[in-house]
Amino acid sequence: MAAIMNRRHFLAASTIPALRAQTKPLKIWMHCDMDGSPGIFTREQAWYWENGVREQVALEARALFTADINAASAAALGAGVAELIVCDTHHGGGNLIQDKLLRDPRITYLYRSVGVEDGVRRWMPGMNDSVHGIMLPGHHAKAFTQGAFLPHTWNSNWADFTINGQSVGEIGIEACFAGHWNVPLIFVQGDEAACAETRQQFPGVVTTAVKQGNGELAAGLSPEAAKLETARGITQAIANLKTGTLKPFRPTLPMTVTVKFRTVADAQKAAQKPGISLVDDHRVEARVGRHADVVKWLIGTGLDMTP
């Protein structure tokens, strides 16, 4: 009887995105990173806050990023999205050039990935069960991925991140967070390695590869060619969403989440926090009861964040 009840519960939960996708208006969350954006081919462009970066390089990179997000937003609206939340998440936000952004009453811009909702600080304010799907433009592959441009997972000190034994990068982490509200991942844009990672972990999700990476350098499509390819991908992703076949990423709860650090010292420091245990010299783990707490257990980023 318990097995039957559990299956009934699973089937009921899995139909939620399909039911949402068949209702109007469509509401999409666009969580925008910069490392995977077209035209961003060097570390200096992508991580422009580092010491020694030329001011003109930083301005040009931000302009490329802004133009790409404008094109992606226009494609989403053109595909039938009635409400679009555009969140700048690269290095916490503040990269989009505000006076160059596409202005449309259907778009809400969040210039930082952490904000205030109902008087409480949280990650991705506005991500809730009214959202139909999440899109991840400008994303990158997880740490230590071969043939990737600037591969990393959230923090340069993290060597690996796993959920219930499955290694994931930021794409998987963000998909898990959205899964708390049964919101499915529908689109990823980035380098070929990021797109391959997405297809392997999330079959059926549309990907658009705009460049090929090699450590701190990349090469790829021109910004204009990339905009056309991205628009095609977004149009297909919205069409797929409307079919109701895409499922949210909801790992079995409670989740066993682990982080492998690059150094023994970082692992030992993390293990001092309540609820976190040291697995070996470099790894810590915790048991997590909500998908929205996928990283909160370690770094405090999630819902109901401390002031």
Give the total number of structural domains in the chain. Answer: 1
Residue 16, pLDDT > 90, answer no
Mean pLDDT of 71-81: 98
- Cα 209 from Cα 192, distance rounded (Å): 5
- Tokens 């081919």 correspond to what residue? 41
Residue 147 in any domain: the answer is yes
Write the DSSP assignment of 166-193 as a string of letters: EE--HHHHHHHHHHTTTPPEEEEEEEHH
Residue 221 tokens read as 């499509």
Contacts of 96 (CB under 8 A, 6+ apart): 32, 62, 65, 66, 69, 88, 109, 111
Contacts of 179 (CB under 8 A, 6+ apart): 248, 249, 250, 251, 291
Residue 2 tokens read as 């318990």
Torsion 236-170-197-32 (CA) sign? positive
Residue 217 in any domain: the answer is yes
pLDDT digits (tens, 9 = 90+) for 248-263: 999 999 999 999 999 9
267 DSSP 8-state letter: H
Residue 168 in any domain: the answer is yes
| Beta bridge partner(s), residue 281 | none
Assign residue 237 a region: left if phi > 0, alpha if psi is -120 to 50, beta otherwise?
alpha
Average pLDDT, the chain: 93
Residue 219 in any domain: the answer is yes
Residue 298 in any domain: the answer is no
The share of the chain scoring above pLDDT 70, in percent, equals 92
The CATH number assigned to the domain holding 53 equals 3.40.50.10780
Domain extent at residue 120: 11-250
Mean pLDDT of 178-199: 98
According to DSSP, the β-strands at 114-117 and 120-123 are antiparallel
The share of the chain scoring above pLDDT 90, in percent, equals 91
Residue 267 in any domain: the answer is no
- Cα 18 from Cα 109, distance rounded (Å): 26
- Cα 69 from Cα 87, distance rounded (Å): 10
pLDDT value at residue 1: 36
**306 — pLDDT class (breaks 50, 70, 90):** confident
Residue 179 tokens read as 């899964």
Nearest to 29 by CA among 134, 117, 119, 102: 134
Residue 96 in any domain: the answer is yes
CB-based contact 38:227 (threshold 8 Å)? yes
**Cβ atoms within 10 Å, residue 107:** 19
pLDDT digits (tens, 9 = 90+) for 199-224: 999 999 999 999 999 999 999 999 99
CB-based contact 20:132 (threshold 8 Å)? yes
